[in-house]
Amino acid sequence: MSLSSPGSLVNLSRREAFKLGGGLVLGLAFPPSPEFLGYGPAADATTDWLGPYVRVDPHGGVILRVPASEMGQGIHTGLAMVLAEELDLTLDQVRVEMAPNSKAYGHPSQLGSQQLTAGSGSTRGWWQPMAEAGATARATLVATAASRWKVDVATCKTADGVVTSGANRATYGELAVDAAAGSLTKAAPKDRSTWKLVHTEPQRLDIPSKVNGTGVFGIDVKTPPELGTCLNATVLHSPVFGAHLESVDDAAARKMPGVVDVLQFTAKKGSLQETLDFVAVVADTFWHARLAAAAVVAKWEGGRPDLDDDAIAKALAAGLGVIAKTSVVKKSGDAKGQIAAADKTGTVVTATYSVPYLHHATMEPLCATAHVTAEKVEIWAPTQSQTLTEEGIAGCLGVPRSSIRLHTTLLGGGLGRKSEVDFVVEAARIAEHYDKPVKVTWPREEDFKHGFYRPAFAAFMRAGVTKAGDLSGLSVRLSGPNILTRFVPKPIARLIGGSFVGENFYENPYTIRDQHVEYHELDLPIPTGFWRSVSASHNGYFRECFLDEVAHAAGVDPVQFRIDHLDASPRHKALVQRVAAMADWGKPAADGSKRALGIGIVESFGSIVAEVAQVRVTPPAGSTPGQVWATLEGATLKVEKVWIAFDCGRYIHPGIIRAQAEGAMGMGLGAALGEAMSFSGGAAATPNFYAYPVLRMAQMPDVEVEVVEGGPDSPGGVGEPALPPIAPAVCNAIFAATGVRIRKLPIASSGLIV
């Protein structure tokens, strides 16, 4: 029987869907406990699936399978709500399980149908297919009931998991076996006017497991006992980027307690992402492996030992001055002419901004568990990237992709780092040496040393302001590494890189007739990757701070200035007005004192977010600066309050969106205040959290979030878009407080105590 559900799943027969789930569903080999994620199905069902996402348990309850990884963004709850809505179920009647790796669960609309949780794309991609699958499952249950009762389907109603028609009544569970045996009845999703669950704020399904210690993260995996006692390993990579392994003296390490082996691996590329040379120390416990790893003396050769913070700063600055290699990202009108004219009759604002390399530092260190036999490779991992992991393992181990079975656990944060596959492929390569499973855990130091960092960037910006106070031309030159060169040939990366690294300038919501944006690509031997909100994380800061400077030069209030230039972008304009109203922009504090406020608005991943920050800057004891401060050195910054207006178009769960807004803003605030990777001798010089100050409790402001549906009837992203506006909002507020511009992040580098 073939399944006539929509989209990419058309050709998946129900039998195939069943097989995909075989291990999980039938409880054959895994999981040992059905509570795999800590909140999954409590009992095995025996019926077939109604399509790839829905299975009705004859004993009660409905199991919904979600293809996206849960890393705190609430996607398991959000997509369960979509399915439950269509099935007329309450959320407490459903249980969620994580989908296995399979083409059937490839993302419907992004990135070549990879199964990948990234780019704030899960709600955007999955809402429609999930809604259609839920509607189809409901229609199938109704058709089963109607034929059992010999009534017209039109007489049947569904509510809370029960089908009724006149005096007839059957729970979904009572219909489950027959429904699964018959053919599917395709149906269209509900009209939004009839939603009962979507737009409400039920408690997240995963949260109970995260307050009692039962949630299973990658690092917590316990493999089934029948596979043998799980070994533990840790890994060592070259401290210097680009160096290869020369030799290893492991004599001392091998004699240490619990040590099983010390293994050497050479770089191998199984998919787009490669694994480097590395040493693995395998032992009975991670602690023993960790102790022995400290006794391994590995010699690495090569790399660029001359690379350090100074060299990076020089390269960034030089990039701003290089004409020859600079590519024009976008040009409209005659920005240079306008700026030259403004130079004669008005004002020209000129500024250089820069941001450092940043690290993901997911709270859960990198880890993965693998078991490799002749027939199959079984993986348990906190990954955002099922397809690339499968490809990487198939390529490196030389096994067919169909032999790889990937169990995605809860992720203790992904942030983009766990969309890389290195840590999982390494685990498979290590496990290939044993007939037992091996769990590999990276010490935090190794994680800091081998990041795929958010690249450092610099921007040189010029704008003309006419005598009348109008913005008459904007010229921007960006300098920084291009992440895309890792994935596509350089000329192509360069071609498409402009719009990617030029995001927020390329698609500028402001009406600026004369605009010229250039990008100079830097080639630095530091691995870069996708850090939550990616290019918007730096360009949002550059653009929104610089516009503030221009507004100031034009003598116009920064909120008004934005409103004046947003006629062509009504959603942005409304959002600026909304956040200004939330923050009582322009009004003094209750006690009549002046407040220091700053604003930033950035669009990314299909959503627009405007933020206003209120700060207090306290001068060092004994000094009383005037209106404009000579220096921020020794003064103390407190970010007191942040207001967020979040326009993500059509949405599912406003409470989850508020939580994501608070969290993404907080992560962006931590980065703006203090985060910077430091490099010396060609290596990362930031070993652990003591040198990398992520946001702390004492720095977290009060937050107020409003979710606005300002756009077309389609969903925007949620996980990332609230991050970029906070750096400019805070820096602009610091200017309002002190008259000093922060043109370099982190803010702490200005001497301000954060």
Can you tell me which of 250, 364, 390, 426 binds another protein, judged by CB under 8 A?
364
Does the protein bind another protein through residue 569 (CB under 8 A)? no
Select the residue interacting with another protein from 260, 342, 361, 734 (CB under 8 A): 361
> Smallest distance from the beta carbon of 585 to another protein, in angstroms?
21
222 binds, among another protein, ligand FES, none (CB under 5 to 8 A by kind): another protein
Nearer to ligand FES, 9 or 695 (CB): 695
Q: How many CB atoms lie within 10 A of CB 267?
A: 11
**521 and 496 in contact (C-beta within 8 Å)?**
no
Helix ranges restricted to H, 331-464: 335-345, 386-397, 422-431, 444-449
Give the H or E element holding residue 179: helix 172-181
The answer to whether residue 645 forms part of the interface with another protein (CB under 8 A) is no
| Strands 377-381 vs 457-465: parallel, antiparallel or unpaired | unpaired
Going by DSSP bridges, is the β-strand pair 231-237/438-441 parallel, antiparallel, or unpaired? parallel
Name the residue nearer to another protein (CB basis): 454 or 743: 454
Residues between 416 and 475 with contacts to another protein, criterion CB under 8 A:
441, 443-444
Q: Smallest distance from the beta carbon of 444 to ligand FES, in angstroms?
A: 8
- Residues between 57 and 76 with contacts to another protein, criterion CB under 8 A: 71-74
- Given the complex with another protein, which of 37 and 50 has the nearer CB atom? 37
Contact residues toward ligand FES (CB under 6 A) are 72, 363, 413
Identify the CA nearest to 202 among candidates 349, 96, 114, 340: 96
Sheet with 377-381, edge to edge strand ranges: 259-265, 278-283, 231-237, 438-441, 367-372, 377-381, 404-408
The region, left, alpha or beta by phi > 0 then psi within -120 to 50, assigned to residue 161 is left
When asked if residue 214 is in the footprint of another protein (CB under 8 A), the reply is yes
* Residue 726 dihedral angles phi and psi, to the nearest 5°: -75, -40
Strand 457-465 and strand 471-481: the pairing is: antiparallel
- CB nearer ligand FES, residue 74 or residue 129: 74
The answer to whether 473 touches 336, Cβ cutoff 8 Å, is yes
C-alpha angle 664-670-674 in degrees, rounded to nearest 5: 155
Q: Answer with the entry of ligand FES, another protein, none that 662 interacts with (C-beta below 5 to 8 A by kind).
A: another protein
- Indicate the residue among 239 and 666 with the shorter CB distance to another protein: 666
- Which of another protein, ligand FES, none interacts with 209 (beta carbon under 5 to 8 A by kind)? another protein
CB nearer to ligand FES: give 363 or 589: 363
Place of tokens 């009572």: 174
When asked if residue 210 is in the footprint of another protein (CB under 8 A), the reply is yes
Does 486 sit near another protein (CB under 8 A)?
Answer: no
Q: Is the separation of the CB atoms in 382 and 418 below 8 Å?
A: yes
Binding string to another protein for residues 699 to 718, with x set by CB under 8 A, is what? Answer: -xxxx---------------
Which residue's CB is nearer to another protein, number 590 or number 698?
698
Q: Which of 183, 229, 350, 688 binds another protein (CB under 8 A)?
A: 688
What DSSP string describes 278-296? EEEEEESSHHHHHHHHHH-
Enumerate the H helices of 305-462 as residue ranges.
309-321, 335-345, 386-397, 422-431, 444-449
* Other beta carbons within 10 Å of 1: 11
Size of the site for another protein (CB under 8 A): 64
Distance of closest approach, residue 286 Cβ to another protein, in angstroms:
6
Taking the least distance from each CB to another protein, the nearer of 257 and 400 is 257
Residue 215 in contact with another protein, rule: CB under 8 A: yes
Interface positions with another protein (CB under 8 A)? 71-74, 203-204, 206-217, 219-220, 222, 232, 257, 285-287, 290, 361-365, 410-415, 441, 443-444, 655, 659-660, 662-667, 669-670, 688-690, 694-698, 700-703
